[in-house]
């Protein structure tokens, strides 16, 4: 009998070690409704839509006409609505609870931003409209660019990158263009700290560079002696995150910038953690030559799901002439879009996208800036750092901070507090799901064994943080009390139980196929 017919296990039994459950006939659990795949619910032979037969028109498909039925599931409108509502109840969301993912900045998206982005003039704008009809959109892009340069202390910005990694690509391509223009084509080695985001070395290689890794010292920061030893006349630059992926501010940042410049290279800063210093520190003052800014991380635009994203890249005086087209300029009272390299004032390295950025993200980010003001943005950074340090201070008696001292916007713990318990970082994270929380970032950064990276963001209240902290404290004490079976069985309350995640990643099943009668009998 198929699972959706016989019911799904929903309640913990006494034997928690084996994950035993009592069943319900429906497979549902109170208000949590069991829901099969839409292909299992629907039928290709029926539909909830009644359309008239198309009028006889010439077939213009040539030899490309479909030879078989689509096979898509047919559902009525109520069935379709219920299917997706039930699925939505299985998702965790920032509007549901605290999202502790580190280095991802899952903050609340203010509804004011959404209201502005949905204004007809912005929501309905089309990239092929005549310039005279989109002056307001150009002005939004221009004003956002102005404030990004002001906040970072940088004289140039490229607005067309569509995401953080795209912004990295922009910055590194600008560095390459500058090196090539100066006849420094032999400089193709990029220094990357071992705690860097994975996109950093990937981007460097994509831009034609080789990667040379820099180790971290005992404090979680760049090992300065190792860094100095790697400098040479073939170095193109360094890609460094500040605050870094360990949630720490690089104390030697000015010296790093000066040394890389003296060696003839350029300083690319990964802007993923800009929200920890916005309004407090200008990257341009630290010697940065290029930095992408994730609008979703620092300026509250929607995050994840493959887009729409936006990763504007600010550039130093040396790199600004190589910013890609297109870009917006103001000519008197009018705004114009410079579309072609031949019309650009500098020497653009090329074009990164067909059109100019993501209008919805620009509108949201500018709304966020204007509603906060300079003092509000400064408080964003201060509260983000305060919240992370509050978590670290309250949990350090039961969990083990990876490094001594205060942190920035992320609290990083390792797995030393779990030694001898038989509980792993993965087990601990799965138990958090049973408590109603999305797990923190696990096993990253790689320089910390069993890492648990928590970023509460500035949008969390003290009461919300206290509730989260109480859960982690209780789980830590339970692990130390020998409740290993509880953790190894977790999650037991989630719609989907513990999966073989390694196999799922290596052997993903990307196509659904109906089960045969033989398979169903074997499953029973």
- Report the distance separating Cα 214 and Cα 224, nearest Å: 9
| 399 lies in the same domain as 287 | no
Contact 229, 279 (CB under 8 A): no
For CA atoms 90, 95, 98, 101, the dihedral sign is positive
| 384 lies in the same domain as 247 | no
Burial of 265 (0-12, 13-18, 19+ CB in 10 A): buried
In a domain? residue 394: yes
H helices of 124-232, where? Answer: 135-152, 164-181, 199-206, 224-230
In a domain? residue 14: no
Say if residue 519's pLDDT is above 70: no
Which tokens is 323 given?
A: 């910013």
In a domain? residue 468: yes
Counting every residue written for the chain, the total comes to: 524
CA 197, 200, 206: angle at the middle one, nearest 5? Answer: 145
In a domain? residue 310: yes
pLDDT of residue 31: 82
* Of residues 224, 218, 232, the one with CA closest to residue 253: 224
Mean pLDDT of all residues in 154-161: 96
| 402 lies in the same domain as 318 | no
In a domain? residue 355: yes
pLDDT of residue 156: 97
Average pLDDT, the chain: 90
| 352 lies in the same domain as 417 | no
pLDDT digits (tens, 9 = 90+) for 246-286: 999 999 999 999 999 999 999 999 999 999 999 999 999 99
Which tokens is 424 given?
A: 């792993």
Which tokens is 513 given?
A: 């196929």
| 415 lies in the same domain as 437 | yes
Cβ-based neighbour number of residue 461 at 10 Å: 10
Q: Of 318, 343, 369, which closes a domain? A: 369
pLDDT band (50, 70, 90) for residue 456: very high
In a domain? residue 51: no
Say if residue 464's pLDDT is above 80: yes
Q: How far is CA 215 from CA 191, 222, 233, 262, in A?
A: 10, 6, 20, 21
- Report the distance separating Cα 143 and Cα 127, nearest Å: 18
Contact 260, 231 (CB under 8 A): yes
| 392 lies in the same domain as 435 | yes
pLDDT band (50, 70, 90) for residue 225: very high
Q: Of 334, 369, 404, which closes a domain? A: 369
pLDDT band (50, 70, 90) for residue 517: low
Examine residue 401 and say whether the peptide bond preceding it is cis (omega within 30 degrees of 0).
no
| 383 lies in the same domain as 364 | no
| 217 lies in the same domain as 310 | yes
- Domain tally for the chain? 2
The rounded percent of the chain whose pLDDT value lies above 90 is 70
For residues 16 and 83, the model is more confident at: 83
| 152 lies in the same domain as 265 | yes
- Report the distance separating Cα 346 and Cα 315, nearest Å: 13
pLDDT band (50, 70, 90) for residue 43: confident
Cβ-based neighbour number of residue 74 at 10 Å: 15
pLDDT digits (tens, 9 = 90+) for 105-121: 888 999 999 999 999 88
Say if residue 320's pLDDT is above 60: yes
- Report the distance separating Cα 364 and Cα 429, nearest Å: 33
pLDDT of residue 15: 39
Domain that holds residue 198: 112-369
Contact 260, 235 (CB under 8 A): yes
Side-chain half-sphere CA neighbours of 373 within 13 A: 2
Side-chain half-sphere CA neighbours of 327 within 13 A: 30
pLDDT band (50, 70, 90) for residue 306: low
Any idea what the CATH number is for the domain that residue 463 is in?
A: 3.90.1150.10
For CA atoms 132, 133, 138, 143, the dihedral sign is positive
Q: Of 341, 369, 397, which closes a domain? A: 369
Cβ-based neighbour number of residue 381 at 10 Å: 21
| 130 lies in the same domain as 247 | yes
Which tokens is 60 given?
A: 């213009």
| 385 lies in the same domain as 276 | no
pLDDT of residue 9: 38
pLDDT of residue 518: 53
| 365 lies in the same domain as 384 | no
In a domain? residue 87: no
Side-chain half-sphere CA neighbours of 331 within 13 A: 9
SS (H, E, C) 263-327: CCCEEEEEHHHHHHCCCCCCHHHHCCCEEECCHHHHCCCCCCCCCCCCCCEEECCCCHHHCCECE
pLDDT band (50, 70, 90) for residue 56: confident
Any idea what the CATH number is for the domain that residue 176 is in?
A: 3.40.640.10
Name the DSSP letter for residue 325. B
Examine residue 196 and say whether the peptide bond preceding it is cis (omega within 30 degrees of 0).
no
In a domain? residue 483: yes
Q: 70-79, 297-306, 511-520: which range is least confident on average?
A: 511-520
pLDDT of residue 62: 84
Say if residue 520's pLDDT is above 60: no
For β-strands 210-214 and 189-193, DSSP reports them as parallel
């Amino acid at each position: 009998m198929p699972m959706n017919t016989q019911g799904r296990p929903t309640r913990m039994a006494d034997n928690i070690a084996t994950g035993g459950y009592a069943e319900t006939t429906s497979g549902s659990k109170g208000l949590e409704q069991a829901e099969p795949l839409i292909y299992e619910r629907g039928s290709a032979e029926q539909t909830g839509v009644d359309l008239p037969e198309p009028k006889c028109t010439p077939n213009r498909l040539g030899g490309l006409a479909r030879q078989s039925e689509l096979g898509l599931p047919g559902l009525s409108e109520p069935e379709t609505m219920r299917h997706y509502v039930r699925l939505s109840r299985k998702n965790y969301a920032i509007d549901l609870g605290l999202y502790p993912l580190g280095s991802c900045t899952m903050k609340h998206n203010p509804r004011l931003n959404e209201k502005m982005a949905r204004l007809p003039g912005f929501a309905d704008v089309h990239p092929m409209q005549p310039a005279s009809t989109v002056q307001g959109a150009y002005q939004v892009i221009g004003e956002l660019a102005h404030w990004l340069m002001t906040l970072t202390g940088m004289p140039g910005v490229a607005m067309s990158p569509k995401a953080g990694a795209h912004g990295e690509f922009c910055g590194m391509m600008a560095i390459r263009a500058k090196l090539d223009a100066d006849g420094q084509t032999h400089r193709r080695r990029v220094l990357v700290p071992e705690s860097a985001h994975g996109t950093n070395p990937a981007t460097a290689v994509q831009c034609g560079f080789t990667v040379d890794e820099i180790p971290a010292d005992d404090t979680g920061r760049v090992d300065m002696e190792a860094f100095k030893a790697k400098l040479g006349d073939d170095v193109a630059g360094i890609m460094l995150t500040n605050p870094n992926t360990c949630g720490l501010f690089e104390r030697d940042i000015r010296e790093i910038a000066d040394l890389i410049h003296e060696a003839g290279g350029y300083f690319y800063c990964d802007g993923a953690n800009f929200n920890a210093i916005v309004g407090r520190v200008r990257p341009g003052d630290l010697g940065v030559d290029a930095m992408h800014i994730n609008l979703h991380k620092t300026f509250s635009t929607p995050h994840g799901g493959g887009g729409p994203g936006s990763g504007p890249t600010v550039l130093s005086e040396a790199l600004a002439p190589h910013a890609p087209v297109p870009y917006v300029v103001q000519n008197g009272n009018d705004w114009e879009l410079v579309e072609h390299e031949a019309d650009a004032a500098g020497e653009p390295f090329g074009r990164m996208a067909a059109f100019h950025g993501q209008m919805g993200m620009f509108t949201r980010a500018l709304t966020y800036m204007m509603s906060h003001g300079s003092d509000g943005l400064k408080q964003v950074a201060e509260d983000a750092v305060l919240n992370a340090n509050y978590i670290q201070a309250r949990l350090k008696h039961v969990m083990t901070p990876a490094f001594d001292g205060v942190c920035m916007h992320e609290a990083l713990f390792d797995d030393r507090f779990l030694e001898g318990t038989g509980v792993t970082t993965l087990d601990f994270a799965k138990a958090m799901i049973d408590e109603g929380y999305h797990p923190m970032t696990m096993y990253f950064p790689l320089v910390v064994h069993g890492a648990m990276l928590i970023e509460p963001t500035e949008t969390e209240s003290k009461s919300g943080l206290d509730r989260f902290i109480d859960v982690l404290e209780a789980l830590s004490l339970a692990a130390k009390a020998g409740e290993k079976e509880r953790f190894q069985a977790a999650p037991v309350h989630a719609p989907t139980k513990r999966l073989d995640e390694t196999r799922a990643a290596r052997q993903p099943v990307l196509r659904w196929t109906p089960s045969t009668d033989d398979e169903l009998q074997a499953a029973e």
